[in-house]
Structure 1
């Protein structure tokens, strides 16, 4: 089982760098769907991802159709959008025999409306007030992926961390 975060046409390198760091920390594959609003060697993106880029499983897609062709089971594809009445934390991601794909839209315009209508049953939202248009993309990714790994009993993640000198023998 693998979790996947996919970013549709991301614009902001710092967001993508922060998301890459979250992916490294949760052993989540990061998919970037072109066109990108930055170069992959952008200094802001590299700074946000710190020195974890070598730990990120990165997959690039030419467009949304290319990404969709890479998803073997659309039943485990989740579109994160504010245009849904289903809450992300109510979905069941506990099946560790399946890969789970979480697709997030562009920072300014989200996912294409026609595409969301086609996959309306798989649209999920993060509850928020009407005071803002949307949460920050990197925060949204962190919320959703940590809900998924929580439901998966944090499989493969270190639950306790000891400094070398603190280890119990």
Structure 2
């Protein structure tokens, strides 16, 4: 079981579409925790996801409580936040980890922050506030997959790799 990605009430359709495309290309599941700040038929979502949306494994949840109830009990909830102390490359990812990303505008509420099994950050130069959500998801998902031996488990590098 590889890692999964969870989006807590995403605000920007383009970011969600890009993350769905990422997930489709790497065989990851995306949990979308409602309410989202856009309609699922949003043009930006479709434009960013292109024809990969049909390939993406997407699970929608009416709210965070529904997400928690439906999440596999053995999976760790790993929150990506600018308020974390641990850098994502210093963390030992495990198969089944769920990488949780908060709203672009506000992150996750304190009560959800406190439920995370781990809180990680992507380091930036001084003065940088935050990275784009889809960029962060790609960076951290790649590291989690690298640590879990994703390429060797499939016998070869993903198509399109040198």
- TM-based fold match above 0.5: yes
User: Any unmatched runs of 5+ in structure 2?
Assistant: none
Q: How does 1:117-156 map to 2 (within 5 A)?
A: 117-119=114-116, 121-154=117-150, 155-156=153-154
Deviation at 1:3, TM superposition (A): 1.8
Q: How does 1:1-169 map to 2 (within 5 A)?
A: 1-73=1-73, 76-93=76-93, 95=94, 98-119=95-116, 121-154=117-150, 155-156=153-154, 158-159=156-157, 161=159
Q: Contact 1:7–1:32 at 8 Å: present in 2 too?
A: yes
Structure 2 distance, partners of 1:102, 1:161, is 24
What secondary structure, in the 3-state scheme, does the structure 1 residue paired with 2:78 have? strand
Structure 2 distance, partners of 1:123, 1:84, is 5
- Work out which of the two has the higher radius of gyration on C-alpha atoms and give 1 or 2: 1
C-alpha RMSD over aligned residues: 1.8
1:21-49: CA deviation from partner (whole Å, max 9, x where unpaired): 10011101011110011111111110100
User: Any unmatched runs of 5+ in structure 1?
Assistant: 163-169
Q: Contact 2:74–2:96 at 8 Å: present in 1 too?
A: no
Provide runs of 4+ in structure 1 moved above 6 Å.
none
Q: Contact 1:26–1:157 at 8 Å: present in 2 too?
A: no
What secondary structure, in the 3-state scheme, does the structure 2 residue paired with 1:50 have? helix
Structure 1 distance, partners of 2:127, 2:78, is 25
What secondary structure, in the 3-state scheme, does the structure 2 residue paired with 1:133 have? coil
Q: Contact 1:9–1:37 at 8 Å: present in 2 too?
A: yes
Relative to the length of structure 2, the TM-score reads: 0.89
Count of residues in correspondence between the two structures? 158
Moved more, 133-142 or 73-82: 73-82
